[in-house]
Amino acid sequence: MGANLSAVVGVVSLVTALTAALLAVLRLRARRGIATATQRATYEVLHTAGLAAEPLRAGLSEAGAAKAVRHLRALVGAAGLALTDADRVLALDGRGTHHGEQLLSAARRTVDTGRSTVLGEQELHCDRVDCPVRGAVVAPLQGADGRVVGALVAIADSPPAPGLVQATLETAHWAGNQLALAELDSSRERLARAEVRALRAQISPHFIYNALTAIGSFVRTDPERARELILEFAEFTRYSFRAHGEFTTLAEELRSIDRYLTIERARFGDRLQVRLQIAPEVLPVMLPFLCLQPLVENAVRHGLSRKPGTGMVSIEARDAGAECHITVEDDGVGMDPTTLTAGIAELASGTGDPGDDTGQHVGLSNVDERLRSVFGDRFGLVVETGLGSGTKVSMRIPKFHAGVRAGS
């Protein structure tokens, strides 16, 4: 699902960029006085479509319809235009207000059947001698799954001509695509929240038990250190279970990782060594919440805890122009690359058991999917490992990406 969403978002970004570029060229040509009538008309259509698209991308609502309906009427070239959902007229611009009930009845039939219809004077008859309405075209609005969620109704002051019918159908199809994208955006957000919940669920009860046991061991021998560890543990859990913000900064993620490692060093003592190499200029970079922390937890839990003697966890974040390159590396027991690949494949297919060795890869798989969903397939995790050779996990984060903002 994450890959499909990334593909859709990528296409939308490309279309948006091309449209913006075309608009910029047309504006420049218009300023220079060399734009043709066709180019000026193209600019007007694209500009009007852009004004209508923004409120529709928020979904089919009364507020969004009220903002979009005037621009949609301009695109169709109708005397009046209405947007409806399955139950009511959400907004109507121009002529035809007094035909609201008739238009809504026709829209409901279109929602039920999924078919467009053309209404003539007989269907829209009224007692007003000055009524200018002579017909209407009703076209379905389809959401992401092909389900009809509403209707676009173009109102005519003359019997609907083929040109008006075609313009209404094309505009309804375009508006439906905007609503479908709104549903996909909502699905992506729900998916991201579900994946964060999965990562929170991965916080091992064993870690909590071991952390509290380690803290308890200092209560009598070193009360001040016990107090400091309790505060670190409280801040770690507060960050991990915070209820807002799909994204965070690298600085915030590293701060939480430091608290986690402080607690683990209290348990492992000198056996756990940590090396940090962070470029200050990448600290404000935005990344998905709980994106880096699970990689460090995996390094300690699955790499170093099984290794006799001292182990090292290295965290590096480098400035790489338009990107930030981050690696988490340990010199622990490592794993068989074949087993790693098979484990992630089982998780993706839903057959992996979180309780066995396959389940330990859930953090890697989850983070990889979230990175690809947000930034595109080029930004997934790269894992280098081997039995007895430790594990190195690398990621690339763009310094700027549209729609990525740190949570408050």
pLDDT band at residue 204 using 50, 70 and 90 as cut-offs: low
315 within 8 A of 328, measured Cβ to Cβ: yes
Which tokens sit at 376? Answer: 């595109």
Domains 39-199 and 202-398 equal at CATH topology level: no
For the chain, the average pLDDT equals 79
**Fold category of 39-199 in CATH:** Beta-Lactamase (3.30.450)
pLDDT given for residue 90 in this prediction: 92
pLDDT above 90: residue 24: no
pLDDT given for residue 1 in this prediction: 44
pLDDT given for residue 328 in this prediction: 95
pLDDT given for residue 357 in this prediction: 45
What is the percent of the chain where pLDDT is above 90? 24
The angle formed by the CA atoms of residues 369, 248 and 400, to the nearest 5 degrees, is 75
139 within 8 A of 172, measured Cβ to Cβ: yes
pLDDT given for residue 356 in this prediction: 42
Model confidence pLDDT, tens digit, residues 304-345: 888 888 999 999 999 999 999 999 999 988 888 777 776 665
The pLDDT of 162-191, averaged and rounded, is 79
pLDDT given for residue 286 in this prediction: 92
Say how many C-beta atoms besides its own lie within 10 A of residue 121's C-beta.
12
pLDDT band at residue 54 using 50, 70 and 90 as cut-offs: confident
Counts of helices then strands in the chain (DSSP H, E):
11, 12
The pLDDT of 251-272, averaged and rounded, is 90
The pLDDT of 146-173, averaged and rounded, is 89
pLDDT given for residue 138 in this prediction: 93
The pLDDT of 236-265, averaged and rounded, is 84
The pLDDT of 394-399, averaged and rounded, is 93
Q: Of 306, 313, 315, which Cα lies nearest the Cα of 335?
A: 306
pLDDT above 90: residue 38: no
Secondary-structure breakdown of the chain: helix, strand, coil percentages, each rounded to the nearest 5 = 55, 20, 25
- Tell me the backbone φ, ψ of residue 344, rounded to 5 degrees: -65, -40
Rg of the chain in Å (alpha carbons): 29
CATH numeric code, 202-398: 3.30.565.10
pLDDT above 90: residue 350: no
**Strand-pair category, 135-142 with 286-288:** unpaired
pLDDT given for residue 342 in this prediction: 62
The pLDDT of 104-120, averaged and rounded, is 91
Domain boundaries, the chain: 39-199, 202-398
CA distance 237 to 362: 20
Q: Of 276, 287, 275, which Cα lies nearest the Cα of 250?
A: 287
- Determine the length of the chain: 408
Q: Of 88, 79, 81, which Cα lies nearest the Cα of 61?
A: 88
Structure pTM?
0.52
Q: What is the Cα 337 distance to its own chain's centre?
A: 30
Half-sphere exposure of 403 (CA within 13 A, CB side): 12
